[in-house]
Amino acid sequence: MVDIMEYSKIGSIEIIVGPMYAGKSEELIRRINRANIAELKVLAFKPKIDKRYSDDSIASHNGKQVPCIPVENTEEMMAIIQQETFDVLAIDEIQFFDEAVIEMCQDMADAGKRVICSGLDLDFRGEPFKVVPPLMAMAEHVVKLTAICMVCKNPATRTQRLVNGQPAKYSDPIILVGAKEAYEARCRNCHQVIK
């Protein structure tokens, strides 16, 4: 088995997925910090719409942070990438990016870069986010984390959206950036969506 750090030498895609509150951003931050210790140059991004804890840092729910560049879309990220020298490309909240991010990640890995992404694999409906399944299939290393279900305390694989304390409707918009006021982790059995 090849150590994750060894992928830095050959180009790779790593993706960290799971529901909210599973520690995805925390694991991404841990990997960024390890890359920094290994004296690898890291270029980190997140979507501009994620301003929950910081405008210009990847931040975990427990307060850990690393600096990053907030961008609107993949095109803006590519414009920055083309002007930078780096070893590791880190992207938080990958599910919020357009489908061009898939090809960009593949191209970066093919060019010998270590690409590390984190994000939700399922939306609040329990359905796959469009860009995440292809990245999981292309990745050399996939980590699927679980949280704790806030109803039954079993392992949670879903993100429950709540509106005034009640499950969201299936017809509600897919994208709604929020934290504990709007979301909680749930297991398959406790996850609910109003049809």
103 catalytic residue (yes or no) = no
Domain region containing 122: 4-145
- The helix/strand/coil state of 143 is strand
DSSP secondary structure of 131-142: THHHHHHH-SEE
Instruction: Indicate the number of domains in the chain.
Output: 1
Catalytic residue (choose from 14, 26, 27, 93):
93
Distance CA(92)–CA(29), nearest Å, equals 9
Residue 131 within a domain: yes
CATH number of the domain residue 120 falls in: 3.40.50.300
Residues 102-153: tens digit of each pLDDT: 999 999 999 999 999 999 999 999 999 999 999 999 999 999 999 999 999 9
Question: Cα 59–138–188 angle (5° rounding)?
Answer: 60
CA dihedral 179, 184, 188, 189 (to 10 degrees): -160
Residue 164 within a domain: no
Residue 176 within a domain: no
Residues 15-42: tens digit of each pLDDT: 999 999 999 999 999 999 999 999 999 9
Residue 160 within a domain: no
Residue 106 within a domain: yes
Residues 184-193: tens digit of each pLDDT: 999 999 999 9
Return the bridge partners of 17, or none. Answer: 119, 144
Indicate the pLDDT class of residue 180, thresholds 50, 70 and 90: low
Please answer whether residues 24 and 18 qualify as being in contact, where contact means their C-beta atoms are separated by less than 8 angstroms: yes
